[in-house]
Structure 1
Amino acid sequence: MRGRSDEQGRALLDALLEGRSEPELAARAASGLGLPERGRYAVVVLRDGGGGTAGTAMYADGLRFVRRRRGDREIVVVSLGDRDPAGLAALMVRWCPGPGGIGPVADGLAELGTARRLAEVALLTCPPGTTGIVRLEERLPAALLVSQPELSARLVSDVFGPLLALDPADRALLVRTLEAWLECGGSAGRAAGRLYCHRNTVLNRLRRLERLTSRSLTRPRELIEMTLALDAFRLTAPQA
């Protein structure tokens, strides 16, 4: 009887994750799973699960995890209690390297559908071939891009059009230089150290990039365009 009750609770949890909102659905799921209806929850969506049996409850670091499988994704519902969700990604990678996405905190079981959908968006901000588990709050600009794929493709074409016509090795060199420069806060010297080249080499590559894109890295609006186009390109570029 207990096993049947657990299975019913998990089926109700699946319905909540799908975004269904029938009357008393959250209350019945809470009763079936022994979870608080009004508690704080995080939803994690993993592209590759961590092994084991989906559907089982787990406990780690004082948190309760309930795992579910949906197609090629594994969904983990985490009962946070009063814990800060900021450390959840680091805890999750001990079990699964990712890639994975974490949605915003849901204030109750009834909000799990929205949290799951936004966790899926966070997962989409992980570039192909990468690992790691990211929070939506850390990837909002990229989340906007993956939520509008047609506009993102237009942005890449408009900003990086001439760059895309280059030899792949030449294009990759300029893209990596721009990435390093941005990651180093706009410091050509620090970017040069990361790229193992001279500072003037970095500056020359950036000037060439400006000529190709007809945009200046010193103009804030054009820099925003370049940065967003770079994110969109990284999220869609095929892996070598």
Structure 2
Amino acid sequence: MRRGTRYGALLGPLLAGGATPALVTRAARGLGLPERGRYAVVVLGTPVPDAAVAEGPDADGSRWWWGAAEGSPGEVEGSPGAAEAREGGREVAVVLLGPAGPARAAARLRELGAGPGGVSPVVGCLAQLGAARRLAGTALLTCEPGSREIVRLDERLPAALLVSRPELSTRLLAEVFGPLLTLVPAERSLLVETLEAWLECGGSVGRAAARLGCHRNTVFNRLRRLERLTARSLSRPRELVDLVLALDVLRLSSAPP
């Protein structure tokens, strides 16, 4: 993994998107990277751990280059304003992937204690890094507030759609969970926790009850109450989609359930 003013100066225009072919070629030569290859972009919401910028490839052969902070592609480490841009901002890395692909890149960041962070889908050339950076940033937005998650966009596509249109997400939450949100926090949390457990247990009331440490009839009654409050049935696929998406919006909001 590498970092420095020279790397940032070359990566910045690529991460900003819209780099000319000549600029892409110059950056490839300066960084020692192939113009075409299997690349991913990582965006972290907190400062990158020192261990992440050690020289040399990872165990699977992937190579990392850390560039400018997200939101300031023109600023590089060592330049005026770069430290301020990273403070409370986002760290960005370009990864030339090894055989294990982006899943290994995400695992590596978890091992280092980084996070929260988003990992883009694979792109096939340096000219596509700008699009990959935007997608990695969207993946980061799907991380629960205060978490240390490292997520790949392809694992969070429905949530990514929600965070991409915050005005619609807010409306969805109000439309689906409006009556639920009027309950006292403890009561609301109980229903939300039960719905989450039921979903994580594949729709099994018995398994959800075991996870929650209560009787299966208690889970059943809570779910029926949630259906009445939201006017949506867990047995109707389209209405279940509404509930799952609203639950994602609630999870991603800064307010507790």
User: Please, what TM-score do these two structures have when normalized by structure 2?
Assistant: 0.86
Q: Which has the higher contact order (CA 8 A, sep 6+)?
A: 2
Q: Distance in 2 between matches of 1:92 and 1:131?
A: 10
- Matched with 1:65 is 64
Choose from 218, 237, 243 the match for 1:220.
237
- Aligned positions of 1:37-56 closer than 5 A: 37-52=35-50
The correspondence for 1:151, drawn from 162, 168, 181, is: 168
Secondary structure of the corresponding residue to residue 98 of structure 1: coil
Q: What's the TM-score once normalised by structure 1's chain length?
A: 0.92
Tell me, in whole angstroms, the C-alpha distance in 1 between the residues paired with 2:149 and 2:186: 26
Distance 1:54 1:177, change over 3 A: closer
SS at match of 2:39: strand
> Which range is displaced more, 189-198 or 42-51?
42-51
Task: Indicate the residue corresponding to 1:172 in structure 2.
Answer: 189
Deviation at 1:86, TM superposition (A): 2.4
Task: Give CA-to-partner distance per residue, 1:59-100, whole Å, 9 cap, x none.
Answer: 221221111241311111111154432222112211233111
Write the distance in 2 (CA, Å) between the matches of 1:91 and 1:81: 12
Q: CA 1:191 to 1:221, structure 2 compared with 1: closer, same or farther past 3 Å? A: same
1:9, distance to aligned residue in structure 2 (A): 4.7
3-state secondary structure, aligned to 1:60: coil
| Equivalent residue pairs, number | 235
Alpha-carbon offset, residue 221 of structure 1: 0.6
Distance 1:217 1:26 in 2: 51
RMSD: 1.9
CA offset at residue 52 of structure 1? 2.9
3-state SS of paired residue (2:105): helix
Matching residue of 1:190 = 207
Taking only the aligned residue pairs, the percentage that are identical comes to 60
| 1:30 equivalent among 28, 31, 41 | 28
Which string of whole-angstrom CA distances, capped at 9 and with x for unpartnered residues, describes residues 184-234 of structure 1?
Answer: 000011111111111110000000000100111111110010111111111
Q: Take 1:50 and 1:210, find their aligned partners in 2: how far apart are those partners? A: 43
CA drift at 1:58? 4.6
Contact residue 127 and residue 234 of structure 1 kept, 8 A:
yes
Structure 2 gap ranges (5+)? 70-84
Tell me the residue number matched to 2:115: 98
Q: Which residue, out of 68, 79, 89, partners 2:106?
A: 89
Shift of 1:132: 1.8
Structure 1 residue 56 displacement after superposition? 7.3
Deviation at 1:237? 4.0
